[in-house]
Structure 1
Amino acid sequence: MKLVTYIIRADELNIQMNESAGARLGWLADSYVVDAVFAQRWLEANRGISFPHSLPADILTLLTRGATELQMLKEVGRLLRNEDLPRLRVEGEPVAVLLSEVRLLAPVPMPTSVRDFYAFEQHVKTSRQRRGLEMIPEWYQIPVFYFSNHRSIVGPEAAVAKPSYTEWLDFELEVACVIGKKGKNIPADRALEYIAGFTIMNDWSARDMQRQEMKVGLGPAKGKDFATSLGPYLVTLDELEDRRTGHHWDLQMTAKVNGKPLSSGNMKDLYWSFPQMIERASLECELVPGDVIGSGTVGTGCILELGPEVHRWLQPGDVVELEIERLGVLSNRIVKSESSLLPK
């Protein structure tokens, strides 16, 4: 399934101060978004089908309840497969709404945590070479990550404010998994059981601030914590099984800025696999449903690696489109920040 968190565009003015309050759980069915709660209610009222309990209206509760909850949602989807979706209503509410009539938020609008790894060898090598640095042997010994800001998540088509403190704003083409099962000290050979699905991730980066911070030997911090985009869907593993070989998936990854192709890579090129990342992240540390684990940037997947001579740093008005085969397109527009430092 392609799981989504959405709001009706007509309701935007009423809930824009608190998007999550009006957000609902659904899934993509062709050109429609099907509401999980309304779909189940329709089946109960019109097909006499009973369920052990009601599905939740948000994705975090769905994941927290465990694999059986996701299976129940998939069963609801299967039972509706041959129904005429546009005609279905529950208490006057449509069960399915045209995709063009909703606004998708990040599939997990507020993750429980966000870890971002550094797992594509080409990106690490090339970025270091551009700075005149040799490859670090330790990179081949363990997969490493940092924690980002789980409260600065941005969804598809949403604006990303260019921080007032940077002139070197960059995108990063990444893929992320969302954890769907609680676990600690998870071995790599069992890690697939803990993945709820994959989504596209853009780890926005203020490179000048990041460079300054990293010289101190700690970070990144303000170079990264202002925004991370996720979306447009959370795609469950069964949808991708035909592209899996062992612990790798053959999915093409591309990036465009203002329609110009800049980046091209493949998810199968990960040096450190997602199961290895999960094994490392869960070492003496409990992972919980809703945790996000990013891959790090794919080779050629950012301006830092390509060089500003290939494309200048991002400016307000630029549109960045990240696309991963089967996972959709994650598009965001850069806007000028309206904030500034508080007066002393």
Structure 2
Amino acid sequence: MKLASYKSGRDGQLMIVDRALQRCCPAGDLAPTMQVALDDWSNTAPRLQEHYERLCRGDHSETTDFDASKCDAPLPRSYHWADGSAYVTHVELVRKARGAEMPASFWEDPLVYMGASDAFIGPEDPVAAESEDWGIDFEGEVVVVTDDVPAGTTIEEAAEHIKLLGIVNDVSLRNLIPAELAKQFGFYQSKPWTAFAPVFVTPDELGNTWDGARLHLPLRATLNGKLIGAPNAGQDMTFDFPTLIAHCAKSRSLISGAVIGSGTVSNVGSKDGSCCLAEVRCLETIRDGRPSTPFMSFGDRIRIEMLDHEGTSVFGAIDQRITPFEPSRG
């Protein structure tokens, strides 16, 4: 099934959306919000599925046209957001561009950081920054959402805890990153709110494109109408989602609604293009000695979307403008 959240308060109103992303109906008393549904998923999901099937058949009595502009993130805020860097070829490329060696451990032990989950933003909400000098970049990623995951869960067990999938724009402020990482304490200011496509989908909706660990479809990133890349999310993913989940749950349990990100989707050699400008710039640096593609500017429009083999949008599109914000400094 496919689920969205219309904007309503801080946690949204859970909506059931048909397969074609054309019609929807409120989940109502079944689960007023996505978090409520996830907290009792084993009981709530079958009941939501019944309404979804009726919606797709066209015999549900409470339907309206689905409007992505009304959408918040499907899970407007989460107790846990852990983002990986599962496409190690991307990390290798970035380090090569700056002349840094690649530690062997990067191929064996996942890179993960905790991001800001107190608020996620919707598919058409603007990306706001104080200055273009911050190096505004998009990052197209796949995410999974879990139920409760006990501490010490194995990779084999972790796959059963994946309940929903989605795609995100994990915005990065590239020019703030070096100073933060130099402190050896991780990202903070350089990782603002993450934007989500309109809907989450259950694994069964993805057919054979989902193998239980990786999603084998291209992720398209288009900037100002120009396709930047469409790398396949199922290729060159060094650490699959069960591995990332088991890594995150090594020393503590994960609570229902935990969102686990893949990191920027990237294929070896980037023959199908890139899902972030940083990678484009690294390739230029390796080829030409310096980057020529700028980061995003105010007014730019970024669209991120995943299409199935028939060309149909799976999750709906992230479609955002880059806008300035005025800082409040008293």
With the length of structure 2 as denominator, give the TM-score of the two structures.
0.87
Preserved CA contact (<8 Å) 2:137 2:296: yes
- Contact between 2:172 and 2:190, CA under 8 Å: does it hold in 1? yes
Distance in 2 (alpha carbons) for counterparts of 1:303 and 1:65: 39
In the alignment, the residues of structure 2 paired with residue 151 and residue 231 of structure 1 have an alpha-carbon distance, to the nearest angstrom, of: 18
* Counterparts of 2:105 and 2:68, CA distance in 1: 49
Report what 2:311 is aligned to: none
SS in 2 for 1:153: coil
For 2:278 and 2:55, locate their aligned partners in 1 and report how far apart those are by CA, in whole Å: 47
Structure 2 residue matching 1:256: 3-state secondary structure: strand
Q: Aligned residue for 1:45?
A: none
1:247 aligns with 2:213: yes
Distance across 2 between alignment mates of 1:195 and 1:294: 12
Higher deviation after alignment, 205-214 or 243-252: 243-252
Q: Find the aligned partners of 2:56 and 2:153 in 1 and give their Cα distance.
A: 36
Counterpart in 2 of 1:25?
14
The equivalent residue for 1:106 is 73
Unaligned runs of 5+ in 1: 8-14, 38-53, 89-94
Contact kept in structure 2, 1:66 and 1:181, CA below 8 Å: no
Q: Deviations over 1:29-79 (max 9, x none)?
A: 231122122xxxxxxxxxxxxxxxx41111100000122211121022224
Stretch moving more, 261-270 or 111-120: 261-270
The CA distance in 2 between the partners of 1:306 and 1:254, in whole Å, is 14
| Counterpart amino acid of residue 331 in structure 1 | D
- Counterpart among 72, 76, 83 of residue 47 in structure 2: 72
1:191-210 alignment runs, 5 A limit: 191-210=158-177
Match of 1:305 in 2: 279
- 1:233 is matched with 199
Deviation at 1:84, TM superposition (A): 4.1
**Please, which of 256, 260, 274 is the counterpart of residue 222 of structure 2?**
256
Q: Which residue of 1 aligns with 2:117?
A: 150
| Distance in 2 between residues matched to 1:32 and 1:198, nearest whole Å | 20
Alpha-carbon contact 2:13-2:32 (below 8 Å) kept: yes
Residues 250 and 203 of structure 1, relative CA distance in 2, 3 Å threshold: same
One-letter code of the match for 1:295? S
**1:101, CA displacement in angstroms?**
8.1
What amino acid sits opposite 1:200 in the alignment?
I
Determine if contact 2:132/2:298 at 8 Å carries over to the other structure.
no
Structure-1 residue corresponding to 2:298: 316
Partner of 2:271: none
Change (3 A) 1:254 1:81: closer
1:338 pairs with one of 313, 326, 330: 326
2:26 match: 35
Distance in structure 2 (CA, Å) of the matches to 1:273 and 1:139: 14
1:122-157 CA distances to partner (integer Å, 9 max, x unpaired)? 211111111111222110121121111112411111
CA contact (8 A) 2:24 2:55 kept: no
Which of 82, 89, 92 is matched with 1:122 structurally?
Answer: 89
Match of 2:240 in 1: 273
TM-score (norm: length of structure 1): 0.83
3-state secondary structure, aligned to 2:38: helix
Q: Give the 3 Å change call, closer, same or farther, for CA 65–305 of structure 1 in structure 2.
A: same
C-alpha change, 1:237 and 1:310, in structure 2 (3 Å) is: farther
Gaps of 5+ in 2: 267-273, 285-290, 308-313
Q: CA deviation at 1:187?
A: 1.0
**1:158–1:208 Cα change, 3 Å:** same
Change (3 A) 1:230 1:110: same
